[in-house]
């Protein structure tokens, strides 16, 4: 009985020491969203369980190696042990109960991260090899994600090519971005500052460089930025022509799939495309005039170029002016 008491005391002492050591390592970055609170709470619960289980295994092991080691001069066998059904039931039932409890806590934490706020603002996220672009309620697009603090944002995310994963470590939560469907992620930033969105799904050769800035600011600062971006977009739209088309192409990340130097990417190159003869997947040819380019922008799968796959490029909801400006820009790429 004395050995059981000593082992229990050692486990009771070692468990908090291990937990403090793990916590002091600062594995997690700063907590910068409302969703991070239940995630970190669950993380701390897990660390406590890990500390206890580590002590529960290592203390009896090391204690037995020291206390019950074979002493000098001893040559006999150890006293044989006997089966204990009580012990077997105990170490089966207790872990089962603990796993069930942690399953409930995990489900509860997941529910907390998905709480819906009635005033959530919706922002579109487009992922592609290897970049992010963000479309705001004002209709303009940016390569930076700007968010107001203490206001929930619903990210509606799409991928243009392969599976990506939206992840800001300080926000904790992440969500896969899957081609052919729209996935949602809710974030409520609680701390102003500059962060980075990363792709957490291996997506190709330049996966590690798929990083963009996430800027969380006060509501007033955010609204001022939106006002400036809306005015700039309106001015560019009023200017029209190739310049407006080029700006839209850059903001939308079109160059990730269509090269401007003649190299082959996910989609056909745009260099020298306007006015050229294009061979389609069915063997026919067509002239890349204004009508063909307009159709291809609005419905990329209507006429698929030979050597490229159908269904890769989604349909974009562009206005007539936007399509006209993009076509005007393509005409300049000789």
SS3 content of the chain, % helix, strand, coil (to 5): 45, 20, 35
Can you tell me the distance from the alpha carbon of 198 to that of 175, in angstroms, rounded to the nearest whole number?
11
* CATH number of the domain encompassing residue 290: 1.10.760.10
Q: Are residues 90 and 155 in the same domain?
A: no
pTM: 0.73
Which of 190, 206, 234 is a domain's end point?
234
Q: What pLDDT sits at residue 318?
A: 73
Residue 142 lies in a domain: yes
Q: What pLDDT sits at residue 146?
A: 95
Q: Consecutive 10-residue runs of the chain (334 residues): their mean pLDDT?
A: 88 92 85 94 91 92 87 74 82 90 92 89 90 85 92 92 94 92 94 95 91 95 90 75 78 74 81 87 88 86 84 72 84 83
Q: Are residues 299 and 269 in the same domain?
A: yes
Q: Are residues 105 and 150 in the same domain?
A: no
Q: Are residues 185 and 267 in the same domain?
A: no
Residue 73 lies in a domain: no
Residues 6+ apart with CB under 8 A from 328: 240, 241, 242, 245
Name the domain count of the chain: 3
Q: What pLDDT sits at residue 253?
A: 67
Which of 208, 234, 260 is a domain's end point?
234
Residue 17 lies in a domain: yes
Q: Are 241 and 328 in contact (CB under 8 A)?
A: yes
Q: Are residues 126 and 192 in the same domain?
A: yes
Residues 6+ apart with CB under 8 A from 196: 168, 211, 212, 213, 214
Q: Are residues 265 and 323 in the same domain?
A: yes
Residue 74 lies in a domain: no
Which of 93, 113, 133 is a domain's end point?
113
Q: Are residues 299 and 250 in the same domain?
A: yes
Residue 251 lies in a domain: yes
Residue 148 lies in a domain: yes
Q: Are residues 95 and 193 in the same domain?
A: no
Which residue range is the domain that position 199 belongs to? 121-234
Can you tell me the distance from the alpha carbon of 196 to that of 200, in angstroms, rounded to the nearest whole number?
12
Can you tell me the distance from the alpha carbon of 10 to that of 55, in angstroms, rounded to the nearest whole number?
8
Can you tell me the distance from the alpha carbon of 113 to that of 110, in angstroms, rounded to the nearest whole number?
5
Sign of the Cα pseudo-torsion (254, 258, 259, 264, in order): positive
Which is it for strands 164-167 and 141-142: parallel, antiparallel or unpaired?
unpaired
Radius of gyration for the chain, computed over Cα atoms and rounded to the nearest angstrom: 29
Residue 75 lies in a domain: no
Q: Which of 247, 70, 221 is nearest to 141 (CA)?
A: 247
């Amino acid at each position: 009985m004395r050995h059981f008491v000593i082992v229990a005391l050692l486990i009771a002492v070692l468990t908090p020491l291990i937990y403090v050591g793990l916590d002091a390592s600062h594995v997690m970055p700063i907590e910068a969203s409302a969703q991070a609170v239940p995630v970190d709470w669950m993380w701390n619960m897990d660390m406590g369980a890990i500390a206890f289980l580590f002590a529960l295994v290592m203390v009896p092991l090391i204690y037995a190696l020291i206390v019950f080691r074979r002493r000098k001069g001893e040559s006999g066998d150890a006293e044989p042990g006997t089966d204990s059904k009580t012990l077997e039931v105990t170490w089966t039932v207790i872990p089962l109960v603990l796993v069930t409890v942690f399953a409930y806590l995990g489900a509860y934490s997941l529910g907390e991260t998905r709480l819906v706020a009635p005033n959530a603002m919706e922002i579109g996220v487009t992922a592609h090899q290897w970049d992010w672009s963000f479309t705001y309620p004002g209709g303009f697009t940016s390569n930076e994600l700007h968010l107001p603090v203490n206001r929930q944002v619903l990210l509606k995310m799409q991928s243009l090519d392969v599976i990506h994963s939206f992840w800001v470590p300080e926000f904790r939560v992440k969500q896969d971005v899957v081609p052919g469907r729209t996935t949602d992620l809710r974030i409520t930033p609680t701390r102003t500052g500059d962060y980075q969105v990363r792709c957490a799904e291996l997506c190709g050769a330049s996966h590690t460089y798929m990083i963009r800035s996430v800027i969380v600011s006060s509501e007033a600062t955010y609204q001022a930025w939106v006002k400036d971006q809306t005015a700039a977009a309106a001015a560019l739209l009023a200017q029209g022509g190739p310049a407006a088309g080029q700006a839209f192409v850059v903001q939308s990340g079109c160059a990730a799939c269509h090269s401007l130097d003649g190299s082959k990417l996910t989609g056909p190159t745009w260099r020298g495309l306007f006015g050229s003869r294009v061979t389609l997947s069915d063997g026919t040819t067509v002239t890349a005039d204004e009508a063909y380019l307009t159709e291809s922008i609005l419905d990329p799968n209507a006429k698929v170029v030979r050597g490229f796959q159908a269904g890769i490029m989604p349909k974009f909801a562009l206005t007539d002016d936007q399509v006209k400006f993009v076509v005007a820009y393509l005409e300049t790429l000789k």
